[in-house]
Structure 1
């Protein structure tokens, strides 16, 4: 009996040793492929430069889905576009904005997403600014003055320099004085908007109803040259966003009685209802094909830039990880799914639809890895409220090269994500889904939903690290002899409410979106 136990023990040590050696070999192959044969730069060029921004409901979004399917197929990975709903179809056209009086200069700006079109001749009109009013009756009396005019609806910024620039060069007294003046300006502006009886969200509707020719805004992102670019809220008149610099000039001209005129050609096309998709690629498992690891990233973007860091880099991470795995680990134990989701920006609609339409994946999910928030290397991973997440994530992370894990802070068990990106759609269903959260690289100010979110902001060394991390975690999750636990931890107290947090509940997707 003793000899039998000794032999069994030696055999187990031998098996573990062979497995460890095999893991080391696979991880080394992943690293080599990622560094010596990286496809990231080529993929980024094709997606950001050639396809461009990926606003849901646009031909560019469909072109991106088709490009992804073709690219996966070239790597020998089965892929398809799965329709989950429809959206308002719209296509951006030529946009050119000029100040034509009191002098001529081309202005830096663009029409917003889903903006109504001008004619090919454009609109030439004077400019008015919102008045200071005592109450809503005073605003109603003023409203007829907008007829046939461009209306400036944003607060002009008193400085175009970010705070960090002031901190570096200004005297302490000057910096504090600027902040006090800005705070007072913002307070007065917000109060005046309330006095009109409207909010910044619905005042455009009143201006349109009063006969305005168009709306001009500027949503500065508190960074040099960056504006937040979202959607228009009008039905018939165009909405333009101007740079801080040009908007400030235009506002001052109007405020000082210099009678500015603006000519704008802002063409676009309404395309009716169009189908919306998720791109789903699959590397079929060999031993446990009905258990799944999902590589997750949202595919859509806003269209002020080209969606490079939101979420082109997350998309590149997952596609490159899949390419590498197909090459060095072509026969995974469990099935690997790559989900490139549509309409995340309008409420996680693509991933929420997927969890509704594919309960078998949710029920048998080993793990999901999602990357969204920018181009930086991954620095945070949370257990998302799963009590035993440390047991399996810890095992998987131990195989990741130290030069990658040394930057990562983990929180276990953590709290479940409630939104923000597509992993939350799965967490709400009680499935183990994890966010690979990135270093900032000034994401919120410079590239998140701005006109500067372009190819040149990608930090490819960091994205390469993220592709290696994702590929290794996926390999380890696919090979793990144990299935991951879904036991939920007792959640922490919410410091804002003083009450214990509750697990998030699933939300239905908007499958018929973008209606006027």
Structure 2
């Protein structure tokens, strides 16, 4: 869903009204009312966001910044009187980002908007080289014959985008006929590029390796999201030469120059440090239960991020929600019936490794888990909760939601029993183990196109009134799940057949990746 800039401020005002205006028809439980009052009047969300996102920054697994964020979260929890520690689940390749400067020096001078990819080797000193494009060939034999000519060159490896405008903008201003024409051309260009890579016998992993082996000076891509100014930043596929991303506008200019024979040259100064293998941790905090201490309510969010930006909405907002929830629970519900756990997971971005590690390493907690509440898709207010395939999930989720303030609850659609999550976020690690794990799914505020893993996932994209909404929801659900006299049923639904008549399977319980060996 896209939010028109003109309506951005009214949307925030409305969200604030939703959070602050209490329905006169609903008398809240006094403890829930305390949650509401504390969230609205004494929030620490913005201060914590500054410390985490501006102070520490992105939190790529294996980096010193990830360790700093682990230590920061432990200290924050302890400052509220909550027991907290780091639980190691593995190691990962160590790396630290430095500065990236990429400048075109011929045929004219221009500073380019570029970012080195995660774990990219450093240039050590600046590298200046001619920029070339992939050859117009149709077979692997022809491509392999061309490969030696990439020696000493910086190769543009990504698809060229003829138009760098978003689909929504084209649709708004073009005639219907022009829109359909441009859409068809774009789809054909994408297909042609996919076919090209397939025909030359390589893929996104093996092509950089081949260029590196041929002694190319560097590799540039442009992983454009389709929204102006937003590129996704993932990991480098090289071990000796720099690999970096260039914004779609600058990438297109270089591509056209190389294609037309202008022989552009760029100077790349990409500083980074390859560090020793780094320990990887989850942050785990607990408020011990007084009635059923061996049963657990788990608040879940992943602390790690990609590092093209600050990781604000993926998943800084989820971390902030769970930290603020724990602070408020400790203040107004210090003696819960069940033990309340917060898990801030590492290495989610590489395959849910932190939460899978927690499931594997804490069998007694998993055995006694009442429910898991996970939040991981942006700054928006929660609008959907599904039953994750548990037959009787409606019985308890519906009951718990009844205690949530009406102006928070009314935005939420539910789906029971729903289908089990297969691996998109950390609740899936628990669902695979047969534990009722629920995704608190948010209104996306442009999340998937604009901020998810992109260079635009920054502090300014957070709408704090929406996050407050989610704190109130999460605190109430945790309170109700803790107080519920009954232990939740783990009975699974009968899985449906797909279009081929095959019965769907419950997600497989998977072991975490404990190190970065062979990771691509």
**Structure 1 residue ranges without an equivalent (≥5):** 1-20
Q: Cα offset for 1:466?
A: 0.5
TM-score (normalizing by structure 2):
0.93
* 1:132 to 2:136 alignment: yes
Q: Tell me how many residue pairs correspond in the alignment.
A: 494
Q: Where does residue 17 of structure 1 map in the other structure?
A: none
Q: How far apart are the structure 2 equivalents of 1:94 and 1:406?
A: 46
- 1:455 partnered with 2:469: no
Aligned match of 1:167: 171
CA contact (8 A) 2:28 2:405 kept: no
Verify the 8 A CA contact 1:87 1:515 in the aligned structure 2.
no
1:364 corresponds in structure 2 to: 368
Q: Which residue of 2 aligns with 1:13?
A: none
**Could you tell me how far apart the structure 1 residues matched to 2:166 and 2:368 are?**
48
Partner of 2:488: 484
Distance 1:402 1:297 in 2: 25
Quote the offset at 1:514 in angstroms. 5.3
> Secondary structure at the residue paired with 2:289?
coil
In the TM superposition, what is the alpha-carbon distance from 1:22 to its structure 2 partner? Answer: 10
Q: 1:43-86: per-residue Cα shift (whole Å, max 9, x none)?
A: 11111111100000000000000110111111111111111111
Take 2:141 and 2:505, find their aligned partners in 1: how far apart are those partners?
45
The CA deviation string for residues 301-345 of structure 1, in whole angstroms up to 9 with x for no partner, is 000011000000111111111111111111111100000000000
Of 466, 473, 487, which aligns to 1:469? 473
Counterparts of 1:502 and 1:198, CA distance in 2: 33
Distance 2:242 2:518 in 1: 17
**Aligned position for 1:502:** 505
Does structure 1 conserve the Cα–Cα contact (< 8 Å) formed by 2:95 and 2:275?
A: yes
- Residue 214 of structure 1 is matched in structure 2 by 218
Matched with 1:90 is: 95
User: RMSD value over aligned CA atoms?
Assistant: 1.2
> Does structure 1 residue 278 correspond to structure 2 residue 279?
no
CA distance in 1, matches of 2:230, 2:38: 36
Give the Cα–Cα distance (whole angstroms) in 2 for the partners of residues 513 and 147 of structure 1. 29
Residue 258 of structure 2 corresponds to 254
Q: Which residue of 2 aligns with 1:203?
A: 207
SS of residue paired to 2:149: helix
Aligned residue number for residue 443 of structure 1:
447
The corresponding residue for 1:14 is none
State the shift of 1:175 in Å.
1.2
Match of 1:34 among 33, 39, 48: 39
Deviation at 1:500, TM superposition (A): 2.0
The one-character-per-residue Cα deviations of 1:376-408 (angstroms, maximum 9, x if unpaired) are 111111111111111111110000011011111
Q: Structure 1 pair 356/507, CA: closer, same or farther in 2 (3 Å)?
A: same
Greater gyration radius: 1
| 1:48 to 2:60 alignment | no
1:315 maps to which of 319, 342, 346: 319
Residues 180-209 of structure 1 show CA distances to partners (whole Å, capped at 9, x for unaligned) of 222222222222212211123321111111
Counterpart of 1:513 in 2: which secondary structure?
Answer: coil
Q: Secondary structure at the match of 2:29?
A: helix
Q: TM-score, normalised by structure 1?
A: 0.94
Q: Distance in 2 between matches of 1:157 and 1:408?
A: 39
Structure 1 segment 60-459 matched on structure 2, within 5 A: 60-119=65-124, 121-459=125-463
Question: Could you tell me how far apart the structure 2 residues matched to 1:28 and 1:57 are?
Answer: 41
Structure 1 residue 347: deviation in Å? 0.5
